């Protein structure tokens, strides 16, 4: 995390910190009770978990409160979230960023690159850092140094401005760039845009959401590959039925339990065998839909059933050893024929276009 301060057009990076430094909030901060039932009190107990929910205003306001509570006197006016994929898009506009050997970087970087570019930044920040730097505190030092130098690279004036705008636009279209403002008039404007990350839906604009949370307690999610599609299935009982299909593959090395560091595998600390990945899968139907069923690899599977902003929510957890894959399907129904729903998914290291697959949506169910 970094704190940016703007004054009369000038932008400065004035502070930084890590989620681990903030520690656990006990008692947990109060969050929306519907979301707490789905994502547990961890949502308000750890900065690492504020984005368990796909509703960005909830994540942002919780993060703001946590930071201000641990940094008395601070006043956060807004929260901006980007992922390393967006950073890769921005590095296409700035050009590669040279990492200097200042005291802000850990002394031993192992095989980490000395230059970050659009080609290597995602793998470096989401995978290689954890392999090459074992100590979490040193990992935080590395991330802080990278953030500072990337910020300098973006603000020093040597940037292709049209390309930067295109990078931000692309990131927003993939839900990788999210913004929340504490100023009501600004948030009202943001709420209607692709930057909002708002879960609340409407019957007029139906949306299906498929969201993923890592349940391994480590860094194995980097190796999960996903495909999501939506199918419409007509039934003679007057209901319009939809199937949300999710395929997951653990693409980690077959010897991941031994070859990857304990910090990446979790070393079994949370009940997950090293090398295995545990993923919590959530499927959100539109308002006025009903959640009917869940299955895994063609067999009925137990699942959690919830509500979030009048939207039905299904939750199902899967474990996959290296090389294993599974297919999960959630069944929804509605009495009303609606416009073709849009499909939203959690952004991952995969290109979004490769995750969302063509859907089979019949024009009508007469």
pLDDT in tens, 97-126: 888 766 678 777 888 998 999 999 999 999
Question: Residue 125: which of 102, 158, 108, 150 has the closest Cα?
Answer: 150
Residue spans of alpha helices (H) in the chain? 19-22, 33-39, 56-70, 84-94, 121-123, 129-132, 136-155, 161-173, 184-190, 256-259, 262-265, 352-355
pTM flag (> 0.85): yes
d(CA 209, CA 311): 10
End-to-end CA separation in angstroms for the chain: 53
Question: Residue 106: which of 139, 148, 136, 129 has the closest Cα?
Answer: 139
Q: Which helix (H) or strand (E) holds 300?
A: strand 299-300
Residue 144's pLDDT band (cuts 50, 70, 90): confident
- For the cut 70, the answer to whether the pLDDT of residue 303 exceeds it is yes
Residues 6+ apart with CB under 8 A from 80: 4, 177, 178, 179
Q: At what angle do helices 84-94 and 161-173 cross, to 10 degrees?
A: 160
Average model confidence (pLDDT) across the chain: 91
What count of other Cβ atoms lies within 10 Å of the Cβ of residue 358? Answer: 7
Q: What pLDDT digit, counting tens, does each position of 184-218 carry?
A: 999 999 998 989 999 987 777 899 999 999 999 99
Q: What pLDDT digit, counting tens, does each position of 210-224 carry?
A: 999 999 999 999 999
Which strands sit side by side in the sheet containing 290-296, from one edge to the other?
A: 224-234, 240-250, 325-334, 290-296, 299-300
Q: What pLDDT digit, counting tens, does each position of 42-83 carry?
A: 999 999 999 999 999 999 999 999 999 999 999 999 999 999
What count of other Cβ atoms lies within 10 Å of the Cβ of residue 97? Answer: 20
d(CA 47, CA 174): 23
CB 221 within 8 A of CB 319: no
């Amino acid at each position: 995390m970094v704190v940016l301060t703007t004054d009369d057009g000038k932008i400065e990076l004035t502070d930084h910190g890590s989620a681990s430094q903030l520690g656990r909030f006990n008692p947990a901060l109060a969050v929306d009770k519907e979301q707490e039932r789905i994502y547990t009190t961890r949502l308000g107990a750890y900065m690492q978990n504020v984005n368990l929910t796909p509703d960005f205003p909830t994540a942002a306001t919780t993060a703001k409160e946590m930071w201000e509570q641990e940094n008395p006197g601070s006043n956060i006016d807004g929260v901006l979230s980007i992922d390393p994929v967006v950073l890769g898009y921005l590095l296409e506009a700035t050009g590669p960023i040279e990492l200097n050997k200042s005291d802000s970087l850990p002394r031993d970087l192992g095989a980490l690159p000395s230059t970050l570019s659009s080609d290597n930044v995602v793998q470096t920040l989401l995978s290689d850092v954890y392999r090459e730097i074992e100590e979490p505190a040193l990992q935080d030092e590395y991330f802080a140094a990278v953030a500072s130098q990337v910020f300098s690279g973006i603000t020093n004036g040597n940037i292709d401005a049209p390309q930067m705008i295109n990078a931000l636009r692309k990131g927003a279209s993939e839900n990788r760039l999210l913004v929340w403002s504490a100023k009501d008039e600004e948030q009202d404007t943001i709420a209607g845009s692709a930057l909002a990350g708002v879960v609340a839906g409407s019957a007029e604009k139906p949306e299906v959401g498929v969201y993923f949370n890592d349940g391994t307690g480590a860094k194995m999610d980097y190796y999960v590959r996903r495909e999501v599609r939506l199918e419409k299935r007509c039934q003679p009982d007057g209901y319009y039925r939809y199937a949300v299909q999710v395929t997951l593959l653990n693409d980690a090395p077959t010897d991941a339990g031994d070859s990857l560091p304990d910090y990446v595998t979790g070393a079994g600390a949370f009940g997950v065998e090293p090398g295995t990945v545990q993923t919590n899968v959530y499927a959100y139907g539109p308002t006025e839909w009903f959640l009917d069923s869940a299955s895994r690899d063609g067999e009925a599977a137990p699942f959690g059933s919830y509500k979030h902003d009048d939207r039905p929510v299904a939750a199902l957890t899967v474990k996959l050893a290296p090389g294993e894959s599974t297919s999960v399907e959630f069944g929804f129904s509605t009495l009303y024929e609606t416009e073709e729903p849009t499909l939203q998914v959690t952004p991952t290291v995969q290109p979004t276009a490769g995750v969302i697959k063509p859907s089979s949506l019949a024009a009508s169910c007469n």
